[in-house]
Structure 1
Amino acid sequence: MPTSVSHRVQKRRDALRAAGLRPVQIWVPDTRRPGFEAECRRQAAIVAKADRADDTLNDFLDASLVDVDDWE
């Protein structure tokens, strides 16, 4: 017989499924892992270098901001 907590969880999951939703498992990087911060910095440096080398990027970003000026 399921425990009261597991029964409530199952009821909730059943209700979500009945509403047309389904569970999805997502794996993300472990931010506590040794070397994570260094890898983030390494990748950020690569992106920053690529951004500096792209002469059209700032014009593109400025043009795209026009679309969000009136967002609330």
Structure 2
Amino acid sequence: MDKKADKPAKGKRAATMSRAKSRSPSAERVRRHRERMKAMGLKPVTIWVPDVDTPEFKAQLARAIDVINEDEESRRVLEGMLELGDFSDWR
């Protein structure tokens, strides 16, 4: 029997195999985690949320709070919600 010569890998798998050797331990953990999530039928998504540290966001929040505080019905709703809430375990 003739032994076949090893051929260089081709395609996506080849790129993955060559990169796997140079991955850091943390990158490898992330890769395995993502593979497990994909196996469960999940896929990653990116969600963009406001940056709460920007002055613009803080100003917008302050305006919204002022509107709520100036409205008597909103105040009654908030007071009712506070009465229903159980805050005994808050520190």
Q: Which runs of 5+ in 1 are unaligned?
A: none
**Relative contact order higher in (CA < 8 Å, ≥ 6 apart):** 1
For normalisation by structure 1, the TM-score amounts to 0.60
Query: How many aligned residue pairs are there?
Result: 68
Give the ranges of 4+ consecutive aligned residues of structure 1 lying more than 6 Å apart after TM superposition. Answer: none
* Structure 2: unaligned runs, 5 residues or longer: 1-17
Give RMSD over aligned pairs: 2.9
Instruction: Report the counterpart of residue 32 of structure 2 in structure 1.
Output: 11
C-alpha separation between the residues in 2 aligned to 1:68 and 1:51?
Answer: 19
**Superposition pairs of residues 18-37 of structure 1, within 5 angstroms:** 18-29=39-50, 36-37=54-55
Aligned-residue offset at 1:70? 7.0
Higher Cα radius of gyration: 2
1:43 aligns with 2:64: no
Q: Match for residue 66 of structure 1?
A: 83
Identity of aligned residues (%): 29
